[in-house]
Structure 1
Amino acid sequence: MHVLRKRPDVVVVGSGISGAACAEALTRRGLRVTVLDRAPLVSGTTARGEGNLLVSDKPPGPELTLAQASLRRWPVLLAALREELGAALADCEYEAKGGLVVATEEAELASLRAFAATQRGAGVEALELAGREATAYEPHLTPRVRGAMHYPQDAQLQPVLAATALLAAVRARGGLVRTGVEALGVDRDRRGRTIAVRTDAGPLACGAVVNACGPWAGSFATAADAPLPVIPRRGMVLVTAPLPPGTVRHKVYDAAYVGAVGSDLGDPGDLRTSTVVEATRSGTVLIGSSRQWTGFDATLRVDVLRALARKATALFPVLSAVPAIRAYGGFRPYTPDHLPVIGEDPRHPGLWHATGHEGAGIGLAASTGELLAELYAGERPHLDPTPYRVDRPGLRMTGDAT
């Protein structure tokens, strides 16, 4: 058996956006980092997302706090990557396009008003628009729209390009990125501290391991004798043929989206859909959103795609004449309290987690990586890490704590 011999300070398991952000933040502090992934680079959940950087869908609380910090950090981080790597490698199609949440019924509009009022108290910009004002922002919206909330802080980037840029910085600083290597667990010394990660290519000695496996983080945590209630929740996206610039100008979603995001574990197959429509730089339009409990069953579900198409064309009638050119689905890492897990595991020193972001991982990644690196380096964290700790009550952690 081949043995991985170079000893890094930290091994990050998972090359998606969370793992890439952690690896970038750690190498920026001069640490030796190796990123491992059993699959091709950035081919999991990150490759199947929409690239949303949102505050509009989050109520006041720890997730919104993390999102606000991350939204502030992304432009700074991308500017630093452009300086370090050059514009070509660091181009992530970042766009501060803003978001529009629309209501077609008075009851929905009243809910949007109440939700936005709580957000404003937490520093979120939310501008109420009448129906005609909303169609001025988005001319192709259905005239049935009664009103909307405009969130100018919402943004978008291309998630695969963003993760690839972060990993390029890791490599440029001497870090290693290895695909086709599966992490099987961790080894510990007599005091219980993590000293190596076990892989199918042999053991790799290290000072710490970061579990950034996304929806597979629960499985890796179990293999590392540190169970976490992180389970997969599937989402699907339709992609249209390219449309003229300006057909869809913002991230636009209906009032039901917030409820779908915050919904809890249901019966197997339980499906939640809402309308989410946004354009990409290439002109294609991404249509979501669905949330369904399927385990890791990746079967293409035509009924889900039909529901997405039906709702999207009701909101944007212009889309009814546009062909869908492809569809994709991905698994999102769900936790019972809808909060990510960021920090060292108190049961096993040297084992860290950066997972559980569900569908918000792209938007939360910049601050997640920074927070984990700050905690690892013993720096003062830029926000309170307590709500994201591994042993919080809402996570219902199992196993004996040390």
Structure 2
Amino acid sequence: MDVVIIGAGVVGAACAYYASRSGLSVAVVDRGPVAGGTTGAGEGNLLVSDKGAGPELGLALLSAQLWRDLAAELPHAVEYETKGGLVVAPDDTTLKALRDFAEGQRAAGVVSAEVGPDALYDLEPHLARGLAGGFHYPQDAQVQPAQAAAQLLKASGAELHLGEEVTGLLTHNGNITGVRTAHRTLHAPHVVNAAGTWAGAIAALAGTDLPVLPRRGFVLVTEPLPPVIRHKVYAADYVADVASDSAALQSSGVVEGTPSGPVLIGATRERVGFDRTLSTEALRRLAAQAAALFPFLADVRVMRTYHGFRPYLPDHLPAIGADPRVPGLFHACGHEGAGIGLAPATGALIAAALTGAEPPAPPHPFRPDRFPEGTGTGRGVVRD
């Protein structure tokens, strides 16, 4: 075996897919099922609209192209939708801020168009009246995340070990040599940590630090509706919430339809550890903000709610690549709410790092050792 990947979410699946395409033999280990963590609780958003100019946006643009390629290679398997995004502003001050934000993005290659207050309703007829305008982002898209992870794993041909928690990382003379679970030992010269919100604990097993923390989010799911919402529609304050460092509850209206009919309503963010308690305040805010964007939703039934945990790193950039502190250990984690969108580019970067190939994007901003020592969750290693 050439590489063991810890994590069967969409990031781990993308790492397996691109590593396999690079000629490596791959095993994937997860303590649960495919897409059993953050991926299964995601909406499947592939966004460039919410990212300012910088390294994450470059990664998102690369991933947008790779997702298009994957949709062509795996037709219908990932439920790829080129629905586009629409960001709306309640007033002229907010609209100007969106205009400045879009201008910075445009220089990096993002396509967007300002939409006047009247033209908004050509794009979304059921939007609330009185909005100042917005921006349309045709590059925004969506996949079905659990299905995408499953199909990428299938296409990779990886050896799967599901329902097996990694209890130790093996080393010899300071180098990673594999992983141990309660059921087996897997030997490989490379191990990829794609464990999502638990990536800090995996780093600790290797005797190093990675300050990944869970950031909880809730989603409301309505009864099935006719196709009345055409894009991913969100309020301008969503962009600020994504970039915020606050641990407190934050919410901003994000509304989108699905092919099967239900409307998905987000998005909240808060750092409360792995507390799964239902937050009535979070749900109340989501419902009110969704109805503020689309008033007809006030009379629509919510059928269920679900929540998950985004893997948060303090500088809002993922950790991708080799960890120089532990030879043989690679990280592909910390994407927060963008992991589904950034998964293919992450997988391609990991495959390049594993094989010594030219990376498809500058890897330096995502180096795993950029954080001060001692900021992770602890240490501990199993040695042969």
The TM tier, using the shorter chain, reads over 0.9
2:239 is matched with which residue? 258
Instruction: Describe the SS at the equivalent of 1:239.
Output: strand
Instruction: Describe the SS at the equivalent of 2:119.
Output: helix
1:163 is matched with which residue? 149
Contact 1:93 1:281 in 2 (8 A): no
Q: Please give the alpha-carbon distance, in whole angstroms, between the structure 1 residues aligned to 2:256 and 2:112.
A: 19
Unaligned runs of 5+ in 2: 376-384
2:332 is matched with which residue? 354
Question: How much has 1:78 moved relative to structure 2?
Answer: 2.5
Q: Does 1:189 find its partner at 2:172?
A: yes
Instruction: Describe the SS at the equivalent of 1:349.
Output: coil
Query: Within 5 A, what are the aligned runs for 1:225-374?
Result: 225-245=207-227, 247-266=228-247, 270-374=248-352
1:99 is matched with which residue? 85
Q: Please give the alpha-carbon distance, in whole angstroms, between the structure 1 residues aligned to 2:93 and 2:282.
A: 26
2:138 is matched with which residue? 152
Structure 1 letter corresponding to 2:274? F
Q: Please give the alpha-carbon distance, in whole angstroms, between the structure 1 residues aligned to 2:193 and 2:168.
A: 10
Structure 2 letter corresponding to 1:140? H
Question: How much has 1:29 moved relative to structure 2?
Answer: 1.8
Q: Does 1:70 find its partner at 2:63?
A: yes
Instruction: Describe the SS at the equivalent of 1:219.
Output: helix
Q: Does 1:125 find its partner at 2:121?
A: no
Runs of 4+ displaced beyond 2 Å: 395-399
Q: Please give the alpha-carbon distance, in whole angstroms, between the structure 2 residues aligned to 1:113 and 1:391.
A: 35
Can you list the C-alpha shifts for 1:298-351, whole angstroms capped at 9, x where unaligned? Answer: 111121111100000011011111111111100001011100000011011111
Q: Please give the alpha-carbon distance, in whole angstroms, between the structure 2 residues aligned to 1:298 and 1:223.
A: 25
- Of all paired residues, the percent bearing the same amino acid is 53
Question: How much has 1:396 moved relative to structure 2?
Answer: 2.8
Instruction: Describe the SS at the equivalent of 1:257.
Output: helix
Q: Please give the alpha-carbon distance, in whole angstroms, between the structure 1 residues aligned to 2:134 and 2:194.
A: 36
Instruction: Describe the SS at the equivalent of 1:121.
Output: helix
Length-normalised TM-score, structure 2: 0.95
Query: Within 5 A, what are the aligned runs for 1:2-17?
Result: 8-17=1-10
Instruction: Describe the SS at the equivalent of 1:60.
Output: coil
Can you list the C-alpha shifts for 1:253-295, whole angstroms capped at 9, x where unaligned? Answer: 00100000000043xxx10100000011101110000001110
Contact 2:246 2:270 in 1 (8 A): no
Question: How much has 1:199 moved relative to structure 2?
Answer: 1.4
Question: How much has 1:397 moved relative to structure 2?
Answer: 4.3
Instruction: Describe the SS at the equivalent of 1:185.
Output: strand
Q: Does 1:223 find its partner at 2:212?
A: no
Can you list the C-alpha shifts for 1:24-55, whole angstroms capped at 9, x where unaligned? Answer: 11111221111011012211100001111011
Q: Does 1:208 find its partner at 2:190?
A: yes
Can you list the C-alpha shifts for 1:103-141, whole angstroms capped at 9, x where unaligned? Answer: 112221111111111111111111011111011100000
Instruction: Describe the SS at the equivalent of 1:95.
Output: coil
Q: Please give the alpha-carbon distance, in whole angstroms, between the structure 2 residues aligned to 1:304 and 1:226.
A: 35
1:138 is matched with which residue? 124
Contact 2:34 2:146 in 1 (8 A): no
1:179 is matched with which residue? 162
Structure 2 letter corresponding to 1:76? D
2:54 is matched with which residue? 61
Structure 2 letter corresponding to 1:180? G
Contact 1:273 1:290 in 2 (8 A): yes
Length-normalised TM-score, structure 1: 0.91
Contact 2:324 2:369 in 1 (8 A): yes
Q: Please give the alpha-carbon distance, in whole angstroms, between the structure 2 residues aligned to 1:49 and 1:42.
A: 10
1:4 is matched with which residue? none
2:181 is matched with which residue? 199
